[in-house]
A and B are shown apart, each in its own frame.
Chain A
Amino acid sequence: SAVISQKPSRDICQRGTSLTIQCQVDSQVTMMFWYRQQPGQSLTLIATANQGSEATYESGFVIDKFPISRPNLTFSTLTVSNMSPEDSSIYLCSVGGWGDYGYTFGSGTRLTVV
């Protein structure tokens, strides 16, 4: 199965600033997914990122707040812009599953906005 390196693992940020989260995959993948996990909650999909096209955002998420880049088939970034305390969550990237491996997740970025 794919191995994902996600950075940073955690950060504490001031409100009004932005944070960029990076995910590097050890193999080429067509689609990458970005999820948010609010404290004590389940995972909610933010957007799906295909290489070479604009990301597709889920209802309630907008590009101005969560811009995504997908410059090649092994890398993607998610930026959390103009942060507020409500953005404090764990953010995870994922790549699609195939065969017996299911979907693979990065280790997550634990963001606290103060």
Chain B
Amino acid sequence: GNSVTQMEGPVTLSEEAFLTINCTYTATGYPSLFWYVQYPGEGLQLLLKATKADDKGSNKGFEATYRKETTSFHLEKGSVQVSDSAVYFCALSFQGGSEKLVFGKGTKLTVNP
């Protein structure tokens, strides 16, 4: 079946450090890939997405590239801020919204000043 494996957390960084959160997937076919963010006490927000191989999603300084050859969609940010402290979820889906999202387990990021 389809699944997402996400880097275990928690991750603790100092402000302005470089961030990488690894995400790999197993799927039959070519899914769309997503990163969602959940700030403390809030619901999920779409951070970025990519729908085909070699697409790069970007938003708020975060980037992730859809790598078909390595079935990966790693999240990166060059310089994190305290306000980036949140839980990050990698997810996949098929068929442009008519199918469910399959989530990774989530990675909790804490950024210290």
Contacts and interface: CB of A to CB of B under 8 A. Distances in A.
A96 B34 contact: no
B34 to A, nearest CB: 6
Nearest to A106: B43
Contacts of A33: 100-101
Contact of A102 (B43, B49, B89, B104): B49
Given A31-B98, A103-B34, A103-B97, A42 B103 contact: yes
Contacts of A106: 43
Interface in A80-103: 92, 94-98, 100-103
B44 interface: yes
Interface in B54-101: 89, 93, 96-101
Contacts of A97: 32, 46, 49, 93, 96-97
B105 A103 contact: no
A45 interface: yes
Given A102-B34, A102-B46, A103-B34, A30 B98 contact: yes
**Most interface-central of A41, A48, A103, A106 (chain B CB within 10 A):** A103
Interface of B: 32, 34, 36, 42-46, 49, 89, 93, 96-101, 103-106
30 contacts: A6-B43, A31-B97, A33-B100, A33-B101, A42-B103, A42-B104, A42-B105, A43-B89, A43-B101, A43-B103, A45-B100, A45-B101, A92-B43, A95-B97, A96-B96, A96-B97, A96-B99, A97-B46, A97-B49, A97-B93, A98-B96, A98-B97, A100-B49, A102-B49, A103-B46, A103-B93, A105-B36, A105-B44, A105-B45, A106-B43
